[in-house]
Chain A
Amino acid sequence: MITRILTWLGAIFVRFIRYLGEIVLLAADTFRSIFTHPIRWRLFLNQVVEIGLLSQLVVVITGAFTGAVFSAQTYFQFNKIGMGSAVGAVVSVAICRELGPVLTALMVTGRVGAAMSAEIGTMKVTEQIDALRALAVYPTDYLVVPRALAMMVSMPLLVAECIAVGIAVGYLVAIFLLEVNGTYYMANMVRWTRNRDIIMGLSKAFCFGILIVFISCHKGLTAREGAVGVGRATTEAVVNGSLAVLICNFFLTMTLNIIYPAGYQ
């Protein structure tokens, strides 16, 4: 019985390590291709539109309502101890360092990661990727490189937008709905929010972008068994991408906090 459980756990572990290995190999292949083969700029721009431009509404709404609710909740707690004017600082730092990058990454995983794995997966099961290969086009160059580059460019911009909108809406809620003193709010926010908080958020955005694009493209490239396989690949891309964002966020926070420590120093 114990042997069977250990064998089962061992098989899961080996499958997990192989999955990680495949993603790392895909990433290595992509970066090698970026530096050694011509980049298809038209496809890159198409992907920037798909990932960056068409995610605007989702990201703006996410940022706005996160900023609004976080501002309100912080005020409700802080006001009890007479620190209502500190809301700005808390909202700003939290959105820059955690909420902005993580929530944007989760929204992009759902919107873009799913689309990527579904599109590439459909191409895989309808032999379109084989057709690319037969026409002497390397699939990584054509499918993964433009998406990876577009994601690396778009994610930091989307997160910057989410942070800006979140802070702005948080300010509006605090000042006009909760009647916090605007001058103190701004003074505290500016005092406690440093460049390193913004850099940390944008660094996380870049890392999350890389995670999302390789997990999604890998799932698409390895999709099997027709429509069911594509559906499964899409679901797994979203689930794995979201989990990877949340797990890596912890390690990134711990690591980046050494480089960009939080607080007023």
Chain B
Amino acid sequence: MISVRGLVKRIGAEEILRGVDLDVASGETLAIIGRSGGGKSVLLKHLIGLMRPDAGEIWIEGQNITQLSERELAAIRKKVGILFQGSALFDSMSVAENISFPLREAGERDPGVLRAKVREMLEVMELEGEEDKMPVNLSGGMKKRVGLARSIIRQPSCILYDEPTSGLDPVVSDSINRLIRRLQRRFGVTSIVVTHDMKNAFHVADHIAYLHEGRIYFHGTVAELQQSSDPVLQDFLLGRSEQGAAVSSPPS
């Protein structure tokens, strides 16, 4: 469904992505892991056309989106939802208005239909009774759920999650993980989850891709990653810094 070929992105003098190749099959859940500041979110934003690459191609459902104009991208964006790291809720709108926003923009004006859809989404997100609250009055976990409800209300075929559990306590993180799994089962969508939270990645992913120094260093199943003896992967999985790895490795 999604295919990335030779993606290169420079921001200022720094080359963030140095030729990323990646394939995501339809209905699959892929977790992209990697160190903070390693370009995971940049890669994710390229997948929905929010950033333009310096080189390379991104194919979604047979269409190279890097050649589309901002207006032409609208058709692709209706098929792909995204949950932003900071939720990016519209702070001038209530929870219900945020969730129903994509439907209103798509031309739905019937208040009954909008109310019913919002209620359904709130039920899926376990947020019943919160529809009149403003984003400023929501906790971090609730904001993520509202953001997720907004991105799936039009039933996209693919959902992108940018650090869905960052800044949340373990209990709320676990509820978000369960929610991602439930959405996969209920709607059968393709999902790409960018995270550095390994628990989150292992919980939700069918496959894992490790982004290292601007390239996909590893792409395989959760079991393959866990069994790998590659020192770079082991350092990341065990949370060892370079200094830590040097101390723990035996002198040669």
Q: Which of B70, B73, B78, B90 sits near A131, CB closer than 8 Å?
A: B90
Question: Quick check: which of A89-97, A102-110, A132-140, A250-258 contacts chain B, the rest being far away?
Answer: A132-140
Query: Distance in Å from the Cβ of B189 to the closest Cβ of chain A?
Result: 15
Stretch at the interface among B60-68, B80-88, B125-133, B167-175: B80-88
B70 touching A138, Cβ below 8 Å: yes
- In the complex, whether A130 has a CB less than 8 A from a CB of chain B is yes
Report whether B105 and A127 are in contact in the complex, using a CB–CB cutoff of 8 Å: no
Supposing A138-B71, A138-B74 touch, asked if A130 and B90 sit within 8 A by C-beta, the answer is: no
A133 to B78, CA, bound (A): 10
A133 near B77 (CB under 8 angstroms)? yes
Q: Decide if B14 is an interface residue (CB 8 Å cutoff).
A: no
| Interface flag for A181 (CB, 8 Å) | no
Interface string of B42-86 (1 = CB under 8 A from A): 000100111000000000000000000011011101101110111
A7 interface residue (CB < 8 Å to B): no
Most chain B beta-carbon contacts within 10 A, residue among A130, A133, A135, A138:
A135
B38 within 8 A of A: no
Instruction: Say if the beta carbon of B150 comes within 8 Å of chain A.
Output: yes
What is the size, in residues, of chain B's interface with A at 8 Å between Cβ atoms?
A: 26
Q: A136-B74, A136-B78, A138-B74 are in contact. Are A127 and B86 (CB under 8 A)?
A: yes
Q: Are B91 and A126 in contact (CB under 8 A)?
A: yes
Decide if B101 touches A135 in the complex (CB within 8 Å). yes
**Could you give, for residues 123-151 of chain A, a 1 whenever the CB lies within 8 Å of some chain B CB and a 0 otherwise?**
10011101101111110000000000000
Contacts of B88 in A (CB 8 A): 126-128, 130-131
Q: Select B77's contact among A123, A126, A127, A135, beta carbons within 8 Å.
A: A135
Please give the distance in Å from A71's CB to the nearest CB on chain B: 43
Is B140 among interface residues, defined by CB-CB distance under 8 A?
no
Residue interface bits A141-175, CB-to-B below 8 A is 1, else 0:
00000000000000000000000000000000000
Bound together, the chains give a CA A126 to CA B86 distance in angstroms of 8
B102 at the interface (CB under 8 A from A): yes
Give B45's nearest chain A residue, CB to CB. A130
Say whether, besides A131-B84, A131-B90, A136 and B70 are in contact (CB < 8 Å): no
- The verdict on A128 contacting B91 (CB below 8 Å), with A134-B77, A135-B102, A135-B105 known, is yes
User: In the complex, which residue of chain B has the Cβ closest to the Cβ of A119?
Assistant: B92
> Which residue of the partner chain B has the closest CB to A140?
B70
B91 touching A136, Cβ below 8 Å: no
- Closest residue on chain B to residue A40 by CB atoms: B105
Contacts of B50 in A (CB 8 A): 130, 133-134
A138 CA to B101 CA in the complex, in Å? 14
Instruction: Using A133-B50, A133-B77, A137-B105 as known contacts, say yes or no to A128 and B71 having CB atoms under 8 A apart.
Output: no
CA distance A123 to B78 in the complex (A): 21
Which B94-119 residues have a C-beta within 8 angstroms of A? 101-102, 105
The residues of B that contact A136 with a CB separation of less than 8 Å are: 73-75, 77-78, 102, 105
Shortest distance from the beta carbon of A186 to any chain B beta carbon, whole Å: 48
Whether A134 and B70, one on each chain, are in contact in the complex, defined by CB atoms closer than 8 angstroms, is no
Interface residues in B134-176 by Cβ distance below 8 A to A read 150-151
Residues of B contacting A130 in the complex (Cβ-Cβ under 8 angstroms): 45, 50, 84, 88
- Contact residues in B for A138 (Cβ distance below 8 Å): 70-71, 74
- B74 smallest CB distance to A (angstroms): 4
**What separation, in Å, do the CA atoms of A133 and B74 have in the docked complex?**
8
Nearest-CB residue, chain A, relative to B84: A127
Return chain B residues, CB-CB under 8 Å to A131. Answer: 84, 88-90
Residues in A whose Cβ lies below 8 Å from that of B48: 134
Q: Using Cβ atoms and an 8 Å threshold, which residues of chain A touch B102?
A: 135-136
Bound state CA distance, A136 and B107, in angstroms?
A: 13
Which one of A122, A123, A133 has the highest number of Cβ atoms from chain B below 10 Å of its Cβ? A133
A122–B105 alpha-carbon span in the complex (Å) = 22
The 12 sampled A-B contact pairs (Cβ below 8 Å) are A123-B90, A126-B86, A126-B91, A130-B84, A131-B84, A134-B48, A134-B50, A134-B81, A135-B101, A135-B150, A136-B75, A136-B77
Closest 8 CB pairs of A and B: A131-B88, A127-B88, A136-B74, A136-B77, A134-B82, A136-B78, A127-B84, A135-B102
- If A122-B91, A131-B88, A136-B77 are given as contacts, then 12 extra A-B residue pairs at C-beta distance below 8 Å, sorted by A number, are A127-B88, A130-B45, A130-B50, A131-B84, A131-B90, A134-B48, A134-B81, A135-B77, A135-B151, A136-B74, A136-B78, A138-B71
